């Protein structure tokens, strides 16, 4: 039975004696078989798609050219991984195989993961370097000069071990300084974050703060494997180093090791000791240099005075005597004094010659004078004749006037005037006036007679009377009726008449005047 069961023939039908599993049973059986058979395996392959959900687990694929294997690293283990899976990375993963029953899947539970050989890791490093280089983090223009003599040195490294001892030792030898050590883990997970935080922490210190801000930083680690130094290749460290305002010296690993922080640092020292050497100058050298400068200073200053003194002496020697200064001019004066009389004579002679050459001779002068004299003579003759004529004319006019002015003519004229005066005197008689007066008187008398005939008194003589009421002359019957008394003026006097009964009236206008008269 057992034999048959163990080896069922391929031709057996479904209804044979084969054990019938439930799905879970077979799933569990497969799981057990798989886990016992592959409880600890190393798998080499390329990392495919990586997924890291919030749970903290890491799911990824391992693949080669034909197959694919699901892999998982649980949260707790993921924190301990030295290298996290990155897509495209060639790795050797160590772990155990297991299944995932609910989905009929199997997977590798990864305990550790390493890049498959140094070549692969270097390739990855190169990729990262290129990426950061294109961002300019490694540009030479970003590099800051290191201070010549820093007062405070900040060191980012492990507080224990050979590295810090080497640095301090070398500093002490060269130039003892203030050193601040920022302790960090220099390998393993979390070291990169600590190193970056330390660089940034130093940069945040203020110059006058409780903790003095370093003038230069040294980031150091001793030698190790590529994996050991891996933290200094992490982007976070590279960015912190590139962003450091304080000049930074990197000294990671041995001389042959190059990490990415070396590219970002302002100066890359091959070893921690070399970093200390670069950080400070040798005090004794500086003292010697200062001494030397002091000596040169004193010498140069002394030399300056000595040279000037020498020059003064030389110049003083070269200075000529006053007599020699005067000799030349004196000789010149003598020479010129000798030549002076001769020169004067020569000059006079020359002037005479020049004068002779001029077109000015006594003959021309006298010709000119003769000519002028003739002109003057002519003018004189003409002037004299004209003057004589004028005098004669004036004399003639005078003679004519003198003829007219004789006593006889004056006497005739006087007689004529006297005659006229006599005539006028004869007409001037009193009768002329009295006749005029008599005529004017006659005219006056006739006018007065005319006045008397025209006056009302003359009328009175002819039988008319003037009627008055009071002082007013009454000319209308109505007025006479109203008046209480009337005064009548006749030729020889006035009579007042009282008013009796109203007189008879026959009508007619002349009645009024008639009435008054009656």
Among 283, 466, 513, 515, binds other proteins (CB under 8 A): 283
Contact 279, 249 (CB under 8 A): yes
Provide the minimum distance between the beta carbon of 206 and other proteins in the complex, in angstroms, as a whole number.
12
- Looking at 51-116, list the stretches that DSSP marks H as alpha helix, in order from N- to C-terminal side: 75-78
Provide, rounded to whole angstroms, the least separation between the CB of residue 159 and other proteins: 6
515 lies in the binding site for other proteins (CB under 8 A): no
* Contacting range for other proteins; rule: CB under 8 A; set: 101-109, 248-256, 297-305, 398-406: 297-305
- Interface with other proteins, residue 232, by CB under 8 A: no
**Cα–Cα distances in angstroms (integers) from residue 386 to residues 205, 373, 378, in the given order:** 131, 20, 13
Taking CB under 8 A as the criterion, which residues in 138-167 touch other proteins?
Answer: 147-149, 159-160, 164-165
Which of 290, 330, 348, 446 binds other proteins (CB under 8 A)? It is 290
205 is a contact residue toward other proteins (CB under 8 A): yes
Nearest Cα to 139, choosing from 231, 275, 265, 269? 265
- The nearest distance, CB 232 to other proteins, in angstroms, is 18
Coil, strand, or helix at residue 499? coil
Backbone angles phi, psi at 261, to 5 degrees: -65, -30
Query: Which is nearest to 486 in space by CA: 168, 478, 495?
Result: 495
Residue placing its CB nearer to other proteins in the complex, 171 or 220: 171
Query: Which of 268, 146, 278, 264 has its CA nearest to residue 215?
Result: 146
Binding residue (CB under 8 A) for other proteins from 297, 333, 444, 458: 297
Q: What are phi and psi for residue 471, nearest 5 degrees? A: -95, -20
Q: Token match 């990197």: residue? A: 250
Minimum Å gap between C-beta 237 and other proteins is 15
Q: Distance (Å, rounded) from C-alpha 150 to C-alpha 216?
A: 7
Give the number of residues written for the chain.
518
Q: CA 183, 188, 193, 199 torsion: positive or negative?
A: positive
DSSP 67: -
Residues whose CB falls within 8 Å of the CB of residue 171, separated by 6 or more in sequence, listed in order? 153, 177, 179, 276, 279, 280
Task: Give the residue from 250, 253, 246 showing the smallest Cα distance to 262.
Answer: 250
Using the rule CB under 8 A, give the single segment among 88-96, 299-307, 354-362, 440-448 that binds other proteins.
299-307
Q: How far apart are CA 136 and CA 130, in angstroms?
A: 10
Q: With respect to other proteins, which residue has the nearer C-beta, 198 or 474? A: 198
State the nearest-atom distance from the C-beta of 196 to other proteins, in Å. Answer: 10
| Separation of alpha carbons 37 and 56, rounded Å | 28
CA dist list (Å): 81 to 78, 269, 479: 5, 30, 170
Q: Which of residues 168-197 bind other proteins (CB under 8 A)?
A: 168, 171-172, 175-183, 194, 197
Nearer to other proteins, 144 or 420 (CB): 144
Q: Please state, in angstroms and rounded to a whole number, the distance separating the CA atoms of residues 84 and 60.
A: 11
Q: How many residues bind other proteins (CB under 8 A)?
A: 42
Q: Which of residues 326-345 bind other proteins (CB under 8 A)?
A: none
Toward other proteins, which CB reaches closer, 206 or 256? Answer: 206
Candidates 117-125, 229-237, 281-289, 322-330; binding stretch for other proteins (CB under 8 A):
281-289
Residue 312 near other proteins by CB under 8 A? no
Task: Please tell me whether residue 219 binds other proteins under the rule CB under 8 A.
Answer: no
Mapping DSSP to helix (H, G, I), strand (E, B) and coil, where does residue 97 land?
A: strand
Report the nearest approach of other proteins to the CB of residue 327 (Å).
35
Q: How far is the CB of 203 from other proteins (least distance, A)?
A: 12
Among the residue ranges 105-113, 302-310, 416-424, 486-494, the one whose residues contact other proteins (CB under 8 A): 302-310
Least distance in angstroms from the C-beta of 25 to other proteins? 52
Residues that bind other proteins (CB under 8 A): 147-149, 159-160, 164-165, 168, 171-172, 175-183, 194, 197, 201, 205, 210-211, 283, 286-287, 289-290, 293-294, 296-298, 300-301, 303-305, 307-308
């Amino acid at each position: 039975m057992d034999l048959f069961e163990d080896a069922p023939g391929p031709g057996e039908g479904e209804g044979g004696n084969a054990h019938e599993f439930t799905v879970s049973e077979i799933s569990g059986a497969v799981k057990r078989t798989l886990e016992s058979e592959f409880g600890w395996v190393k798998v080499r392959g390329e990392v495919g798609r990586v997924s890291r959900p919030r749970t903290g687990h890491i799911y990824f694929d391992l693949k080669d050219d034909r197959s694919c294997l699901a892999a998982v690293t649980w949260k707790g283990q993921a924190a301990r991984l030295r290298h996290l899976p990155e897509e495209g990375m060639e790795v050797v993963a160590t772990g155990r195989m297991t299944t995932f029953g609910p989905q009929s899947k199997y997977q590798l539970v990864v305990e550790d993961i390493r890049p498959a050989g140094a070549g692969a890791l270097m390739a990855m490093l190169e990729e990262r370097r290129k990426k950061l280089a294109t961002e300019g983090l490694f540009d030479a223009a970003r590099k800051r000069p290191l201070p010549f003599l820093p007062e405070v040195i900040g060191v980012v490294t492990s507080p224990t071990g050979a590295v810090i001892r080497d640095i301090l030792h070398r500093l002490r030898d060269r130039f003892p300084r203030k050193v601040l050590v920022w302790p960090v883990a220099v390998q393993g997970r979390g070291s990169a974050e600590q190193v970056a935080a330390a660089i940034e922490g130093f940069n945040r210190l203020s110059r006058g703060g409780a903790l003095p801000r370093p003038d230069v930083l040294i980031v150091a680690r001793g030698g190790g494997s590529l994996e050991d130094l891996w933290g200094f290749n992490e982007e976070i460290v590279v960015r912190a180093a590139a962003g450091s305002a304080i000049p930074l010296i990197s000294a990671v690993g041995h001389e042959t090791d190059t990490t990415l922080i070396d590219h970002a640092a302002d100066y890359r020292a091959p070893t921690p000791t070399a970093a200390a050497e670069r950080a400070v100058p040798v005090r004794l050298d500086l003292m010697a240099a200062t001494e030397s400068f002091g000596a040169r200073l004193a010498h140069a200053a002394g030399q300056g005075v000595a040279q000037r003194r020498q020059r003064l002496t030389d110049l003083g020697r070269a200075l000529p005597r006053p007599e020699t200064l005067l000799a030349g001019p004196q000789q010149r004066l003598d020479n010129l004094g000798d030549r002076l009389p001769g020169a004067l004579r020569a000059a006079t002679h020359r002037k005479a010659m020049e004068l002779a050459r001029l077109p000015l001779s006594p003959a021309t002068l006298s010709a000119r004078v003769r000519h002028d004299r003739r002109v003057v003579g002519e003018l004189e003759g003409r002037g004299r004749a004209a003057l004589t004529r004028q005098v004669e004319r004036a004399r003639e006019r005078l003679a004519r006037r003198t003829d007219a002015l004789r006593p006889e003519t004056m006497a005739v004229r006087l007689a004529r005037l006297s005659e006229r005066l006599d005539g006028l005197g004869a007409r001037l008689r009193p009768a002329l006036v009295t006749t005029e007066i008599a005529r004017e008187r006659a005219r006056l008398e006739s006018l007065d007679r005319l006045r008397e005939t025209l006056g009302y008194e003359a009328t009175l003589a002819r039988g008319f009377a003037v009627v008055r009421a009071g002082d007013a002359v009454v000319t209308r019957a109505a007025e006479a009726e109203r008046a209480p008394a009337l005064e009548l003026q006749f030729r020889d006097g006035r009579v007042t008449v009282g008013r009796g009964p109203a007189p008879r009236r026959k009508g007619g206008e002349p009645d009024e005047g008639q009435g008054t008269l009656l």
